[in-house]
Structures are given as structure tokens and as C-alpha cells.
Amino acid sequence: MAQPAVDGLRVSDIGGHPLQGGGWFRSGLVFRVSGGMVGPADIAHLDSLGLRVLIDLRGEDEDRRRLVDWAAARGVRYHHEPMALADPDDFAAALNKHGRTEADGRAFLAKIYRRMLDDFSGSLVGAVTAVAQAQPAAFGCAAGKDRTGLLTALIQELLGVDRATILAGYVSQAPDPDRLLEAVATWWDWDEGDLAKPGLGGILSAVEEVMAGALDYLDERHGGAVRYFETAGLPASTVEQLRDRLVSDAPARPGARGGAGA
């Protein structure tokens, strides 16, 4: 699925939070990005981060060329962990069948989140491993909301960020729905009537209940983040490496930036 770049990349630091077991998730080391919305100003922002690795969660059929080329030109390791979930036809079919309200759209999105957990554990393990191995690291998908939001939540859960903070960040760090709708209009060959369906608004929004439902499902079906990754084959040594590199005893001083990795 070709996805021309659309100006409006959002880059957010997922660290800077106190942890329930003590310590802090260090800031300046792990970022989330909206890979399909990269414009020239956003490339300059990426340049300023000093990234060592960029993890792309987009599928094989999604256009990843701009970030692939950027990483090659900057000597940043590009790591591809595809999570191909639904194409425009899948979304259109869902909206035609169940898309009468925003609640319908959110219900469809909730199913996608559960599917990510059930079907893409290998890609999630690969992404967490890449983050643990080198920092500063960034990861993202096309919109930087769903695949990106779930991976953000899983990393924060592994480290011990409290769930209320995770849910608030899922909402506040998501791309603006109106801006995302403009991007979707560029990516997908839909008419104005399809783009105006309330169900699409539910799919493009980020509300706490969707991520809360996914994390509840993670607990009930998979035994929580630690057990999920353990069952999926993530070595305990990698989890320890992630914590060693991303957790500090105290919050960073204002303006300080960390860096680590082989």
C-alpha cells in the first residue's frame, strides 16, 4: 500500500516517568514517530536526536522509502519489524458493515489491538530487542498511533510505568485526528463520503478505553507484559539490558540527555 509522505511527523519521548518499582524511565533515549507523515522539518528533528537505531513497524506493502533512505544516509541502523494489520479495503469493509458511529470505529480498533498481541509477538519481541541493544532509538508505523502506541505501552509496562500514565500518554502523544484524516485522504483512494463516516473518526482517534481494553486483554489472555514477552521468546537477559539502559535512580536534570548502546 503506497503511502506518500505527508508533512506533520510527530516525535515524542516515551520516557521521563517514575516507575512503580522505584527509579525513572530515562528521557532522551526512546522516541515514537509517525513514519508516514515525515516532512522536511521532521527530518531535521530526527537529525537532532542522534539516533542509533530506527525500528519501522510498517508492513512490506507500505511505502517506507523516505525513512529507509534517511537512515542509510545518516548511518542509523534501520530495523524492520513488519506488523501488517489491515489495508484500506479492510477498513472500508469494516466501516460499511459496522461504521455508523464513532463507537463502532473504536470497537473495530479494539479488535485490531487484540490481534496485534495475538499474532505479532515475534515483531514486538524484535522491536523491544532492537531498543534494548542501542539507544537513542526510535520506532514507529505510518500514523504513529496504533502499532506505535501499543509498542510504547508494552515497553512502559515492562519497565513499570503506572497504567494511568501509560493511558494518558497514549492519548496525548497520538497524532491529531484531523491531521491524520488529511494524511489518510492522501494515502487511501476514498471518496469524501467514506472519509466523513463517523466510524472512521473512531478509528483515527486515540481514546483511553481502547488502550485500556488492550492492556486488560494482555493481562487476562497473556498474563501481563513480562509473561507475554517471556512466552514469546524474549530472553530475560534482554529485559535486564532494557532496564539497565533505560532506568535511572533519579529523574534527569533539565536539559540533560542520555545515550547508550553498542
pLDDT band for position 182 (50/70/90)?
confident
Q: Which three cell numbers stand for residue 197?
A: 463516516
Q: What is the pLDDT of residue 253?
A: 55
How large is the average pLDDT for residues 144-158? 97
Q: What is the pLDDT of residue 119?
A: 96
9 pLDDT more than 70: no
Nearest to 117 by CA among 204, 218, 194: 218
CA distances from 237 to 42, 79, 214, 245, 253 (A): 34, 20, 26, 12, 29
Q: Please report, for the chain, the start and end positions of each structural domain, with discontinuous segments joined by +.
A: 11-245
pTM equals 0.88
230 pLDDT more than 90: yes
Q: What is the pLDDT of residue 5?
A: 41
Instruction: Give the angle subtended at the CA of 56 by the CAs of 157 and 153, to the nearest 5°.
Output: 15
Q: For the chain, percent helix, then strand, then coil, each to nearest 5?
A: 55, 15, 30
Structure-model confidence comparison of residues 6 and 67, the more confident one: 67
Q: What is the pLDDT of residue 190?
A: 67
Distance, CA of 28 to chain centre: 16
Q: Which three cell numbers stand for residue 53?
A: 537505531
Q: Is 13 helix (H, G, I), strand (E, B) or coil?
A: strand
Which tens digits make up the pLDDT trace of 83-94?
987 666 666 666
11-245 CATH pick, 3.60.40.10, 3.40.50.300, 3.90.190.10, 3.40.640.10: 3.90.190.10
Instruction: Give the angle subtended at the CA of 215 by the CAs of 252 and 91, to the nearest 5°.
Output: 110
CA distances from 61 to 38, 108, 128, 157, 169 (A): 18, 22, 23, 30, 29
Question: d(Cα 32, Cα 252) in Å, to the nearest integer?
Answer: 19
